[in-house]
Amino acid sequence: MNKGDLHKKDDFKVPEKYFEGFENRLFEKIHDLEHSIPKKEGFKVPEKYFESFEENLFRKYNTPETSKVIRLKKYKSYYYIVTGIAASLVLFLMIRFFTPTDQLNFATLEHEEIENYLYANESSLNAYDIVQEFNDMELKEISLTDEILEEDDELIDYLNENTNAYDELIEDN
């Protein structure tokens, strides 16, 4: 499709001699319709209605209507305050008495939890870090066996089987 030819094409055509006699035909149709229009009006308006319409309108809408004011009862606001205080008191008591007050300490931890913690954080603690914190004299003065009670034989056996000796750690570094 050539864009240059678009404006040359006429799609709207009027028949020949259409506008000759158009006025006469229009008036004939209007004359025929005049007989079909009823002479009597369909709507009736009271006499002098539009003369007093503006006055009636302003009189009707300019008068302020007094609406009934419903006052809130004073005890309702006190009721809400007392209810809020009671709810916060109940919430405080529930938190106070229904939360466990067991303090966590080393004795309440299970051995598996301690092992899991040490395995999980093993990468953050190594022998080099320990050696840097203590010098040779302090490490030799520390004796873990003095603090371990005799009834902890299982702990001593576990440490002997699963850990390197202190002397080996020093020699490696």
Per-residue pLDDT, 91: 95
Residue 66 has pLDDT above 70, yes or no: yes
Q: Which of 118, 126, 120, 130 is nearest to 158 (CA)?
A: 118
For residues 139 and 166, the answer to whether their CB atoms sit within 8 Å is yes
DSSP label at 65? P
Q: Which of 147, 143, 129, 105 is nearest to 155 (CA)?
A: 147
Tell me the two tokens of residue 5: 């030819």
Spell out the SS3 assignment of 81-150. HHHHHHHHHHHHHHHHHHCCCCCCCHHHCCHHHHHHHHHHCHHHCCHHHHHHHCCHHHHHHCCHHHHCCC
The predicted model scores a pTM of 0.23
Per-residue pLDDT, 8: 63
pLDDT tens digits, one per residue of 109-161: 777 887 787 777 766 666 677 677 666 656 666 655 555 555 577 777 777 77
Per-residue pLDDT, 117: 79
Q: Which of 147, 139, 137, 146 is nearest to 165 (CA)?
A: 139
Per-residue pLDDT, 18: 78
Per-residue pLDDT, 89: 95
Per-residue pLDDT, 125: 65
Q: Residue ranges per domain, the chain?
A: 71-101, 106-172
pLDDT tens digits, one per residue of 21-64: 888 888 888 888 887 777 777 778 888 888 888 888 888 877 66
